[in-house]
Homo-oligomer: A and B are copies of this chain.
Amino acid sequence: MTCLCVPAVFLACAAPSTGHKTTGLLGDGQQQRNINPASGTRGKLVAARAGRSGMDRDAPAPSEPVVAPDAVINLELGDPTMYEAFWREAGELADVVIPGWWGMSYTSDAGNLCWFLDPEFEREVRRLHRLVGNAAVDDGYHLVVGTGATQLFQAAMYALSPAGADRPIGVVSPAPYYSSYPPQTDLLLSGYYRWAGDANALDGSNDGHIELVCSPNNPDGAIREAVLSGKAIHDLVYYWPQYTPITGAAAHDIMLFTVSKITGHAGTRLGWALVKDRDVAKKMVYFVDRASIGVSRDSQLRAAKLLAVVSDAYDDDSGGRLFDFARRRMAERWRALRAAVAGTGGAFSLPEETTGYCNFTKQTVAAYPAFAWLRCEKDGVEDCAEFLRGQGIVARGGEQFGGDARCVRVNMLDRDGVFDILIRRISSIT
């Protein structure tokens, strides 16, 4: 699954004030000024598309936005803007041109179980999984597309809920779990399913729940397997070579992925599920039909192109290699972060680095999670998020993940300028 919401929009992320019983993640005190530099690119983007042909491809790409040295930096959320540099470099190879007459029907592929799935997007998704070897796609798996993995997570819960039950089935995940699982699960207080907390609090043989298995885990990067024996939804959005060794082709019943954490195109809002059982896939399709009558065809057209650029580079050396770029970048960032943490003389700690043999890169490599799960070890600091906010760093507090308030989750995928400030600020703390 992806991050909960987006930079600088604290109020939007907070539960509304009417008392709806969803699990709000941010308190009233967290409405803050715009602190993320991302919005600074906007003027240039708008200027770049003033021409009659929409976005003018020949207009200059936006440069890295300038971050004021005293700016509060928002690393609470999961914006993957680190990838922008790769796509600037790719140039027109990654352009998409959409004529006005294209893609008007609700239907992408009337003959497909998932009738709103673009056939070219499906081909590129399966091709990429085959290239990387991270998921089984050739054993009868059905592909269901959604408006981000977020929509598919809800579709999967809907599909796995038993019909005609007296009460909602419980949805659980071992803590620390992705902080958006509880409020997304309980958004509408469904009669089918309801958030039921930490999976570790249940008897391991209990199969009367739906378990959410996030691996590598958001927030702490841990490799996970199901702890219960019942129904499971595998959230594998970070199971890509830049974040973790690819140890085999996952072949679970329901596996969720998203372009946001592969190519970095979070704004495209496109995820997919690989689903083993045809009836489950049909129910997921039904959910997406009812919830939004399918998924943007423009996004699918664009994502098909972007995924093709990624695969092409490995097939025929035709351009920059995304996983190499991102892995290099992640390695540099983790090296810098570990050095900064070490320099604090014990004020902070991070999970130990883990390594494994990666079938994709054909070498033993370290894991470089997309989030740092940072723990404050300083005496007297009980709330690490609050402490860091005093240092101009916004991160998401551990209690929102069902975990320890001395931990915070820090986004590792923002732009270079923001990440560099993070390192400088962490380094200045002792």
Contacts and interface: CB of A to CB of B under 8 A. Distances in A.
Interface of A: 2-9, 11-22, 34, 36, 38-39, 42, 45-46, 49, 52-57, 61-62, 77-81, 83-84, 87-88, 90-111, 113-116, 119-120, 146-148, 150-151, 154, 158-159, 161-164, 180, 183-184, 187-192, 260, 264-270, 279, 282-283, 285-287, 289-299, 301-302, 305-306, 309
B291 A291 contact: yes
Contacts of A264: 104
Contacts of A34: 110-111
B116 A6 contact: yes
Contact of A18 (B2, B56, B163, B188): B163
12 contacts: A5-B293, A16-B283, A34-B110, A53-B97, A55-B98, A55-B102, A87-B104, A91-B100, A94-B99, A98-B98, A98-B302, A268-B297
Nearest to A91: B100
A353 B260 CA distance: 50
B55 A301 contact: yes
Contacts of A188: 158, 188, 190-192
Contact residues of A: prevailing secondary structure = loop
Q: Which of A9, A80, A87, A283 has the most CB of B within 10 A?
A: A9
Q: Which of A52, A91, A101 has the most CB of B within 10 A?
A: A101
Q: How many copies of the chain does the oligomer comprise?
A: 2
Given A19-B164, A192-B189, A115 B148 contact: no
A55 to B, nearest CB: 5
Given A5-B293, A93-B52, A105 B87 contact: no
Contacts of A78: 106
B104 A286 contact: no
A294 B5 CA distance: 8
Q: Which of A22, A49, A54, A269 has the most CB of B within 10 A?
A: A54
Nearest to A14: B286
A59 to B, nearest CB: 8
Q: Which of A22, A39, A61, A108 has the most CB of B within 10 A?
A: A39
A301 B54 contact: yes
Given A34-B111, A107-B39, A115-B12, A268 B290 contact: no
A106 B11 contact: no
B296 A54 contact: no
A16 B3 CA distance: 30
Please list the 3 inter-chain residue pairs (A to B) with the smallest Cβ-Cβ separation, ordered nearest first.
A94-B100, A189-B191, A19-B163
Contacts of A39: 107, 109-111
A293 B97 contact: no
B105 A154 contact: no
A283 B15 CA distance: 8
A151 B292 contact: yes
Contacts of A191: 188-191
Given A54-B302, A180-B290, 13 more contacts: A2-B106, A3-B106, A6-B107, A9-B110, A9-B115, A62-B101, A95-B99, A95-B100, A104-B264, A107-B267, A188-B188, A266-B293, A267-B296
A148 to B, nearest CB: 5
B93 A7 contact: no
A286 B15 contact: yes
Given A90-B100, A104-B83, A298 B302 contact: yes
